[in-house]
Chains A and B, each alone.
Chain A
Amino acid sequence: MAELLQFAFSGLTVGAIYALVALGFTLIYNASDIINFAQGEFVMLGGMTTVFMAMAGIPLPLAALIAIAVTTGVGLALHRFAIEPARGASPVALIMITIGASVFLRGVAQIVFDKRFHSLPPLFGADPIQFGGAAILPQSLVVLAGAAVIVILLWLFVERTLLGKAVIATAANRLAARLIGVDTRRIVDFSFAVSAAIGAIAGILITPIALTSYDVGTLLALKGFAAAMLGGIGSPLGAVVGGLLIGMIEALCAGYLSSSYKDAAAFLIILVVLVAMPQGLFGLVKVERV
């Protein structure tokens, strides 16, 4: 029982990160129909930039803020310089552009930072809390709380603000949104910026537990995407549920089956979902008219 609790907690923790990555995917997908493969790099940039800023002597809170700002800038640049010029390209072309961007960002990170693993000091110390026989890191709770706060803020934003409504409108029907005066380009800008920021925060929160390095982005992007697909691409609730589920499945797989194959769980899920239920758990089945 204690073992199960242990796995559950580590699963939920890493699942919270997948959920945030998946949320980032969903935000951009809803605003622009683009699957942003560079989503994982935002997480990497958040963690790595903070680490290197801190190493340069900048106090941690400031370093984190700078990292978030930098990553947000990268997200915006991605949209303005890589996606915008390719307006009207096929979905496959666009996804290849984001993959290219992801490889590019990894390559640059490799040069600007280094190829080693790095960590950050946890927010509330490293002593595990005992709970029901399981040892839980305080940072896990920080991650879960942080993710919850972000989800709630996003939800409030979408429900309560005009800009949030504009995002929903753009997601529902771009042309109609433009016709009623929504600047869709700005909305997509915004979605990229917010996704990047969310990714960066996720990266900063998880680094004390899972470490960071220049190439963590790829795997994260794929798992985040698996989560988004599992939950139903386009559904924010699905993204969160999907992320937590994948995190749990991974942890249980690592604990009870084989830890070297835990990464495979997410990819298997992608394949199964795509083939068996492409609309995911919460997605709507779209009927295509010829």
Chain B
Amino acid sequence: MLILEADRLSITFGGVRAIDGVSISIASGQVFSLIGPNGSGKTTLLNLISGIYTPQDGSIRLAGETVTGFAPDQLARRGLSRTFQNLQIFSRMTVLENVMVGRHRHERTGILADMLHWPSVARQNESTRQAAGVALARVGLADAAERPAGSLDYGALKRLEIARALASEPKVLLLDEPAAGCNPVETQEIDRVIRSIVKQGITVVLVEHDMRLVMNISDRVHVLARGKTLAEGTPQQVRSNVEVIEAYLGVHGSQEAAHALD
């Protein structure tokens, strides 16, 4: 079943065609990776899919429903969640509270009940806390639950964002450079987390620069260049595509990719 489809998306910023006629189709349960050099439009494409930008041309379908132009919160309620390249952590809240916010779409909330703190609110707080704890444990951050989010190190924050997105129980999870700026140990952690997510049946759309991670974990790889699709296929197909290798993996990158698949 195709869970996410985008048909000839285009968007222009101040004269620059950031995304030009890009189409993708992602089957449920897949790991779908977006690669390409800086400026090729990967994050822009993610922003289009997650409703942060509205495409000027083209359409998007989520689980068969046309969702072009839907706001991010509307998409979230339909099971789409994401992390951010430049960390959007709620730094003044604790680690656990951050993830609790992720449970928002499963919470019942009413202003009067909230302000009067009905027993139902207290009970719900407790179950939210528990669910958040579970998500934290999955990314290995259970010990840090009561710490202020701002005090965590970079790699941990990346995992925190994933936990938060997971807490919303998405059908599709967009990960925007989850391993960016992480050292090899942290990257391995992220790899492990992504695999456990995939095992759960969640569809993952991954934007990454780390070629080893991408080639290891992806079912399909889509290459963007200057806002247009350059190639798409399995990791093997992409890594052996001459154009892709030459222009975007580079000599070093293609060697990494080759080693990764050994």
Contacts and interface: CB of A to CB of B under 8 A. Distances in A.
B14 A290 contact: no
A289 interface: yes
Contacts of B14: 287
Name A's interface SS: loop
A7 to B, nearest CB: 42
B52 A290 contact: yes
B13 A287 contact: yes
Interface in A254-290: 287, 289-290
B48 to A, nearest CB: 11
Interface string B145-177: 000000000000000000000000000000000
B52 A289 contact: no
A290 B13 contact: no
Interface residues of A, number: 3
B88 to A, nearest CB: 10
A165 B52 CA distance: 37
A287 B14 CA distance: 7
Contacts of A287: 13-14
B52 to A, nearest CB: 6
B47 interface: yes
A289 B14 CA distance: 11
Contacts of A289: 13
A290 B87 CA distance: 12
Contacts of B13: 287, 289
Contacts of A290: 43, 47, 52-53
B113 to A, nearest CB: 31
User: Max chain A CB contacts within 10 Å: which of B14, B43, B47?
Assistant: B14
Interface in B18-66: 43, 47, 52-53
A289 to B, nearest CB: 7
Nearest to A289: B13
Interface string A174-198: 0000000000000000000000000
Contacts of B52: 290
B173 to A, nearest CB: 18
Contacts of B43: 290
7 contacts: A287-B13, A287-B14, A289-B13, A290-B43, A290-B47, A290-B52, A290-B53
